[in-house]
Structure 1
Amino acid sequence: NKALRGAIQSGDLSTDRFFQELLRLIYRFLFLLTTEDRDILMDPDADPEAQSLYREGYSLSNLRERARLRRYWDRHDDAWQQLLITFAGFAAGQPRLAQPALGGLFTPDQCPTLEQAQIANRYLFNALFKLCYFEAGRVLVRINYRDMDSEELGSVYESLLELIPQLNVEGQWRFGFMGDETGEGSGGHARKLTGSYYTPDSLVQELIQSALEPVIKQRLNENPASPQEVLLDIRVCDPACGSGHFLLAAARRLAAELARIEAGADQPSEADYRHALRQIVRHCIYGVDINPLAVELCRTALWLEAIEPGKPLGFLDTHIQVGNSLIGVLDPQLLQQGIPDAAYKPLTGDNKSVAAALKKRNKIDKQQIQLLKAHNTELAVCAGGLEELPEENLEQIEHKRAAWQELMQGAACQDEKLRANLFTCAFFVPKTEENAERVPTNVELAALESGEPIPDAMQEQIAELAEQNRFFHWFLAFPDVFDDKEGGRSGFDIMLGNPPWERIKLQEQEFFAFRSPLIAQARNKAERSQRIKWLSRGRLMAELHPEMAVGNEPDVHEINVYRQFVNARYSAEGASAFVRLSGRYPLTGKGDVNLYALFAENFLKAVRPSGRSGFIVPTGIATDDSTKDYFSAISSGNQLISLFDFENREAIFPGVHRSYKFSLLTLGAPSDAATLAFFAAQPTQLRDSRRRFHLTADEFALINPNTLTCPVFRSERDAELTKKLYRAAPVLVREAAEEAPEQNPWGIRFQAMFHMSADSGLFHTYEDLANAGATETGATWQQTDQRWFPLYEAKMVHQYDHRWATYETDGKTSRDCTLAEKQNPEYYNRPRYWVDEWQVTLRTARAPKPVLNAAKKEDAAKVEIALRTWAAGAALLLDDRATASKLLKVESAIHGDDLFAGDQTAVAREAEEMATLWPMSEMEYRQLAAHFEAGGDVWLLTRQLLESRRPKYLLGWRDICRNTDVRTLIASITPLSAVPGDFALIHSTLSGINKACLLGNLDSLVSDYIARQKVSGAHLKMFHMRQLPILHPESYDQDNINYIVHRVIELIYTSHNLKPFAEDLGYDGEPFPFDPDRRHQLKCELDAYYAKLYGLSRDELCYILDPADVMGEDYPSETFRVLKNKELKEFGEYRTRRLVLDAWDKLERGELA
């Protein structure tokens, strides 16, 4: 095979193209093995002798039988030559062998290099043997392709896409796959590495039922006189189609319905079904995938499924296309808005000055960009006509192919394509000095609209980047589907799929698999990064294999590969910029964008108003703050038909972690209420009506008014009980809406004080402080006038217990505090780190940001300006204009209603606004005025003021949690200290007594129960907390306060370092004893009391404690199962249940106060 080696060595045949030909060869094998075994390849009316000749001499089945006999495994190539005759017969038809003209997969352009090569029998039969046989024990078993179902075939297809080819041309040539040498396998492919996994058929069928079935039923009911035409007019698309699993399922369902109607019988014949299936695939099925190999595999799967004996393989190029579904223009109206200025935000390697100049150049009158719609209408009409062309023989198929290519290359399509490519390309062209003239802007877009040409160099750059990044413009790829004329289709009828679940980023391992296996095979990211650095200098091989290095000159090939890597990385950044800034994804193109969220918006927008979408995405699409705009749009717009959540605990997706949660999401025409179910492990559980519940748009808004995201109920009873709780109490903080101000009755402000990684430079260990000569004093360290506060991590705290866990002096070993330690009021748990007191003050003091920011930067001048402005505002609010004038160093003047004349008016307003947001007492502002007048030390003043305005203790909750832990919502009081983000803080403007009531509310079983309906992952975030239904501070009367505060203070004040909290509640005695039984009793009494305050019944409280008590052991819900099991093991009973209900009964009898 010298010609093959020469083509590879010269670069004329890349590893990628060689791999594509090999895959097509495998596709041919799979196609022939299946169709021959199913006896659906030949025309039944073909010459029997010719059929016999094919079967006995030229069929793949014949070669399969020879493959199991080792005597045929020789060095000759007669088997390969026989196969070439077989392939040629199916390419154009061969009557002497009864071969129909299939075309498609068998045309000469599919494997041009391989068909010119030689393959020895021993290699060919070895490959065929592995495709056709396996050993079960000592028995050789033939793979049954005839009866292989779609799921089994699908797993074969997807396993082919897992392969990452590698070609070693050093020494003895060897073609193989990544991981062969280590025995580990590639472990992922272009789709696996982007988070897509083969979808079990049980999940596909659920989406067929929820998305496709209702559309079929509706269309047939609306058009009883023409059912065939209605079915063939349904358009189904998978925008990340892979091997076509969803498309095959949809095609089968539509074909079954069409065959039944055309045959006029409930049980149509196999021939009726195959004829219907061929029509459905031809007219109804569409797909897109970024991976060309996946697209070819999808076409092969459809050909295999829809083959009709004696007829050619259908023309699928127009329906199953290669492209990046997410990058490009979906709706041409996006072009009418022009290129946004944000397209010129500098990316890695861009020149900021060039980017700024391009941004300025882009600012033209948007009215100059008047995109015409006539072009797309013309395309749609022509494309619609092409769809009706027959496909009964190869000549007709070639005529259709030529007509389609003529349409796509015509002026109408090319003009539209250039506009769309230009718009998209603005985000992908590097903004460098040498490239500045090739970066498109609105100037060029407007030129195209007026029929003027754009520079050739720019047009070449656009074409190159469009091909490289596989821009996909939906309205041009499928013009008949996205016809925008009145009454036109304007989208698909059905969208189905399981899109990738990863973020937009360059997959380094995948990128280097073809180009530099030495980097792809690195053991970890650190090693891979080092190898990339060597590659950039052309020194990779020299560093790893110095014995093979030739001279000291950099390797030009390596440097070229590095340049390709830099370009690919830039493309990934460009893609991220496009989805966030282009305007195509207003609902999901935000923050650290995930592909599944973008696809979810695509599923929403690419469907016509009367259609439906059904797809699989992580459950975060409905519950996460980052996708709240998307879920708010579909829930408030009544487009959410159903959401069925699964936990992967039974490995529906074997390659995904068992705790991962994903959902089947169905969208469609407005629906009065959405059907939901959560925590399913298998699709069969969705049949249990007790698991399913319904929510209206108003109920989504009731439960999550700020985000309009989805609560996660295990059962219908949970949904109803939660709605009752939300009607009993307002959410903690209701954010301002368009016509309504913020409702924040507790005066709440949330804070994450320190970030464990970003602020790590501020953290000091025990060893650091000891070596610096500081002295440990209780919970703090001291050195002359400097103190360090402990950093309370969330795991050190539990409900009503700031001494839950401690670290040893090594800062690494942690443990629970012992009972003896907790019973010692002098004991302080030791943290892993300590932080300078001043840093804590800067983050906790109640002061305006200008003051705190200037203090953090140690800018004395700005600190003084900010303090003067703040104090002047306080003086103005008390009408003390004289003091305000001195503070602001201006003369007082009456000028209308303003204090200051001219430019000083704005300063006065700023001062008043600052003091309104951050109130200051008269004593404070007078002290500041006197200090400045006396010329005192601004830093001493600032420190004293801020320390006086910091809290004496902190209230917060543990961010890290699960809804299956003993408790989910864990809040507590801690001494004033440093805390990281995993212990989120709640600052309230209300009194200590109010804070005690708030803490009791948060730590109650009722609040915990609600939190469990909100948390789908491992974090209880601030947006969750804002939306918990918390009793209004004015709902507490004095009896309520007495009952709650006495118990909360006894639970909290067990250590001297929380004396400030006790004093805030009016208690000046000694800390309370730490008695575990007494403490548990108090907690249960509070749980019962808060249940009454929420208006629950005893049965409802029983349900919260354990649904099985009320609904039976088989009820599909749980609340505090882990707590119950823990207590059954420790005490032999569910102690909490008994004590809480006892407290309820005593409250009913008036025995508790």
Structure 2
Amino acid sequence: MTKNKMDIKDFEKEQSKLLQNPIIASTWLDYQSQYPYVSAYYRSSEQYKNQISVVNGKKAGTDINLYKLFTEQCFNLLCSGGECGIVIPSGIYTDLGTKQLREMLFSQTKVTGLFCFENRKTIFEEVDSRFKFVVLTFVKGSTTTEFPSAFMRHDVQELQRFPSDDSLQINIDMVRQLSPDSLSVMEFKNKVDIRIAEKMLKFPLLGEKIKGKWNLVLCNEFHMTNDSHLFYQEYKPVRLPLFTGKLFNQFEQTGEKPLYWIDEKEGRKALIGRTEDKGQLMNYQEYRWVHRRIARNTDSRTLICYITPKNVFTEVNSTTLKVIETGISNQQMLFLCAITNSFTLDWMIRQKVTTTLNMFYIYQLPVPRLTKNDRYFNDIVQRAAKLICTTPEFDELAQEVGLGSHQQGVSDETERAKLRAELDGMIAHLYRLTEDEFSYILTTFPIVNATVKEAALSAYRTFAPMFADSEKLALIQ
């Protein structure tokens, strides 16, 4: 078995058992002892100065990765005017840890092609069929203003015709506008994608701090490996559940039981650190918006968000909000949950993410910052609350938004589907998408049931007159 197929406790037991063998223990220690020196070289060598990215003053992607090293070394070996072609993971154009390499490529080379393909036809054996690779070509000694691209391809024979006159040209200025912090390249497939992105960019990115509006500060609480000493597998009254990504889907829990529990006192101490614990209210004691960190743009849905019950701890694979520091209200979190679970915003993030939805992706999403005084805010919040508040642990939240209790939440699957379709229709209008544009977005979710997409489009049509009147009123004002 591999570590990825075990939970952390089973892995630690197996590791401990193996290390009782003196030969294995000696070999393991010898193997480990090499890493500090190798790591220090790659982190400090002038030859590999573009391996570590700095975003908003903080280092990102500090782990050593072979494909990153190979990319920079290829650049180093080229003479001016020399051309390189390399097959590497698609993280080169999306991941935060490769931001500095992208800056190097855009400012010191002319990128002549970015051809991304999935491993659906088992081009590389024993590699997951959903894994994405890219054929990257560039010429050293110039700069890039735009480059030809192709994404989500399955047949490498298409390389014979790439690039061509119909290849989609991606403008670097747009890359910087869409992803100012990370320079991530969105996986545009045609000009419709670009038109929709331009419309959505009229709204502020979530990472932008706006006075008088709700703002986000995201965090990860407990790490599955580094904090495993705090995890218990048995429930006791003094322990709180570790709320992981496997426990929730969009607007609902999966029904799975928590694997781990954390003693509340130990959890508080770990989160507070050196600060004195005076019994102050902490984030884990509040309702919190949360999203799954492990996500692919080839899954049925990529952006999967929920509101946690009170008194749960979260782990690194389910990024959550600092609700106390930001002062964000429960209504605003419900609005955020509705927006982030929509097809429209999911479409946006699917153009960027590969396998891990880090918080920087969330910060770069354009989102209308509606509040209670804005039209449609309450309509969206009420629908989201009915989807979330279906168990007694959400009674306080239900009362706060005027539902009374969880009994006014909606558990019937048909009615829930109707509420979700209405949310999707309303949110598409918020972004001022045309029916054709929203219909196109729905076609980019091939695994989603056709009836779900048809219901969303039908709801869009139902709300069209209401939003049309609103836009006319705005123009008059």
| TM-score, normalising length: structure 1 | 0.36
Gaps of 5+ in 1: 1-523, 537-561, 735-741, 770-780, 808-830, 845-851, 856-862, 864-938, 1107-1118, 1125-1133
Tell me: CA distance 1:1137–1:697, structure 2 relative to 1, closer, same or farther (3 Å): same
1:805 aligns with 2:288: no
After superposition, the C-alpha distances for 1:105-152 in whole angstroms (9 at most, x for unaligned) are xxxxxxxxxxxxxxxxxxxxxxxxxxxxxxxxxxxxxxxxxxxxxxxx
Tell me: CA distance 1:701–1:1080, structure 2 relative to 1, closer, same or farther (3 Å): same
After superposition, the C-alpha distances for 1:833-872 in whole angstroms (9 at most, x for unaligned) are 322233454577xxxxxxx2125xxxxxxx3xxxxxxxxx
Give the counterpart of 1:752 among 205, 208, 220. Answer: 220
Give the counterpart of 2:273 among 844, 853, 860. Answer: 853
Give the counterpart of 2:317 among 982, 994, 1013. Answer: 982
- AA partner of residue 685 (structure 1): E
After superposition, the C-alpha distances for 1:161-180 in whole angstroms (9 at most, x for unaligned) are xxxxxxxxxxxxxxxxxxxx
1:760 CA drift (Å): 2.4
In 2: Cα distance, 1:571 partner to 1:1047 partner: 56
- AA partner of residue 756 (structure 1): M
Give the counterpart of 2:388 among 1052, 1075, 1078. Answer: 1052
- AA partner of residue 393 (structure 2): N
Gaps of 5+ in 2: 1-13, 53-60, 471-477
**Partner-residue secondary structure (3-state), 2:313:** coil
Aligned to 2:151: 678
- AA partner of residue 415 (structure 2): R
Tell me: CA distance 1:531–1:1102, structure 2 relative to 1, closer, same or farther (3 Å): same
Tell me: CA distance 1:1144–1:602, structure 2 relative to 1, closer, same or farther (3 Å): same
**Partner-residue secondary structure (3-state), 1:1099:** helix
Tell me: CA distance 1:837–1:1090, structure 2 relative to 1, closer, same or farther (3 Å): same
1:1150 CA drift (Å): 3.7
Question: Share of identical aligned residues, percent?
Answer: 28
The 8 Å contact of residues 106 and 143 in structure 2, kept in 1 or not, is answered as no
Task: Within 5 Å, give how 1:4-19 maps onto structure 2.
Answer: none
Give the counterpart of 2:427 among 1059, 1082, 1090. Answer: 1090
After superposition, the C-alpha distances for 1:81-106 in whole angstroms (9 at most, x for unaligned) are xxxxxxxxxxxxxxxxxxxxxxxxxx
Aligned to 2:69: 598
In 1: Cα distance, 2:404 partner to 2:165 partner: 53
The 8 Å contact of residues 51 and 68 in structure 2, kept in 1 or not, is answered as yes
Aligned to 1:992: 330
In 1: Cα distance, 2:430 partner to 2:32 partner: 57
In 2: Cα distance, 1:665 partner to 1:526 partner: 43
1:525 CA drift (Å): 9.0
Aligned to 1:965: 299
- AA partner of residue 598 (structure 1): L
In 1: Cα distance, 2:240 partner to 2:396 partner: 16
1:638 CA drift (Å): 6.3
In 2: Cα distance, 1:721 partner to 1:1104 partner: 12
In 2: Cα distance, 1:1068 partner to 1:570 partner: 61
1:1066 CA drift (Å): 4.5
**Partner-residue secondary structure (3-state), 1:1123:** coil
- AA partner of residue 1001 (structure 1): I
Tell me: CA distance 1:980–1:732, structure 2 relative to 1, closer, same or farther (3 Å): same
- AA partner of residue 983 (structure 1): S
Task: Within 5 Å, give how 1:451-850 maps onto structure 2.
Answer: 533=23, 566=30, 573-588=36-51, 591-635=62-106, 639-654=110-125, 656-668=127-139, 669-686=142-159, 687=161, 692-713=167-188, 715-717=189-191, 719-734=193-208, 746-766=214-234, 769=235, 781-782=236-237, 787-801=238-252, 803-807=253-257, 831-841=258-268
**Partner-residue secondary structure (3-state), 2:390:** coil
Aligned to 1:1123: 448
Tell me: CA distance 1:1122–1:795, structure 2 relative to 1, closer, same or farther (3 Å): same
In 1: Cα distance, 2:133 partner to 2:352 partner: 15
1:1031 aligns with 2:368: yes
1:975 CA drift (Å): 0.6
After superposition, the C-alpha distances for 1:650-689 in whole angstroms (9 at most, x for unaligned) are 1223354433322111122324311111122222234386
1:572 CA drift (Å): 5.5
- AA partner of residue 627 (structure 1): T
The 8 Å contact of residues 700 and 708 in structure 1, kept in 2 or not, is answered as yes
The 8 Å contact of residues 841 and 950 in structure 1, kept in 2 or not, is answered as no
In 1: Cα distance, 2:124 partner to 2:46 partner: 34
After superposition, the C-alpha distances for 1:1004-1058 in whole angstroms (9 at most, x for unaligned) are 11011112111222x2121211112222346x75321121122111111111101
Greater strand percent: which structure?
2
In 2: Cα distance, 1:763 partner to 1:570 partner: 28
Count of residue pairs brought into register by the alignment: 438
Give the counterpart of 2:344 among 997, 1001, 1006. Answer: 1006
The 8 Å contact of residues 961 and 969 in structure 1, kept in 2 or not, is answered as yes
- AA partner of residue 435 (structure 2): R
The higher relative CO (CA closer than 8 Å, separation ≥ 6) is in 2
**Partner-residue secondary structure (3-state), 1:610:** coil
Bigger radius of gyration among the two: 1
The 8 Å contact of residues 960 and 982 in structure 1, kept in 2 or not, is answered as yes
- AA partner of residue 730 (structure 1): P
In 2: Cα distance, 1:1005 partner to 1:690 partner: 31
In 1: Cα distance, 2:315 partner to 2:22 partner: 35
1:581 CA drift (Å): 1.0
Tell me: CA distance 1:759–1:963, structure 2 relative to 1, closer, same or farther (3 Å): same
The 8 Å contact of residues 800 and 971 in structure 1, kept in 2 or not, is answered as yes
Aligned to 1:84: none
1:755 CA drift (Å): 1.7
Aligned to 1:239: none
1:1089 CA drift (Å): 0.6
In 1: Cα distance, 2:307 partner to 2:69 partner: 41
In 1: Cα distance, 2:179 partner to 2:196 partner: 11
Tell me: CA distance 1:997–1:1070, structure 2 relative to 1, closer, same or farther (3 Å): closer
In 1: Cα distance, 2:166 partner to 2:385 partner: 41
In 2: Cα distance, 1:572 partner to 1:608 partner: 31
1:576 CA drift (Å): 2.5
After superposition, the C-alpha distances for 1:350-406 in whole angstroms (9 at most, x for unaligned) are xxxxxxxxxxxxxxxxxxxxxxxxxxxxxxxxxxxxxxxxxxxxxxxxxxxxxxxxx
In 1: Cα distance, 2:414 partner to 2:24 partner: 64
In 1: Cα distance, 2:100 partner to 2:447 partner: 34
**Partner-residue secondary structure (3-state), 1:576:** helix
In 2: Cα distance, 1:531 partner to 1:980 partner: 33
The 8 Å contact of residues 289 and 307 in structure 2, kept in 1 or not, is answered as yes
Tell me: CA distance 1:1088–1:570, structure 2 relative to 1, closer, same or farther (3 Å): same
The 8 Å contact of residues 728 and 1095 in structure 1, kept in 2 or not, is answered as no
**Partner-residue secondary structure (3-state), 2:120:** helix
After superposition, the C-alpha distances for 1:628-654 in whole angstroms (9 at most, x for unaligned) are 111133235563222111222212233
1:1099 aligns with 2:424: no
Greater helix percent: which structure?
1
In 2: Cα distance, 1:614 partner to 1:843 partner: 47
Aligned to 2:10: none
In 2: Cα distance, 1:1084 partner to 1:840 partner: 39
1:798 CA drift (Å): 1.2
The 8 Å contact of residues 965 and 1122 in structure 1, kept in 2 or not, is answered as yes
**Partner-residue secondary structure (3-state), 2:73:** helix
The 8 Å contact of residues 387 and 410 in structure 2, kept in 1 or not, is answered as no
Tell me: CA distance 1:569–1:836, structure 2 relative to 1, closer, same or farther (3 Å): closer
The 8 Å contact of residues 220 and 319 in structure 2, kept in 1 or not, is answered as yes
**Partner-residue secondary structure (3-state), 1:658:** coil
Tell me: CA distance 1:704–1:690, structure 2 relative to 1, closer, same or farther (3 Å): farther
Tell me: CA distance 1:640–1:790, structure 2 relative to 1, closer, same or farther (3 Å): same
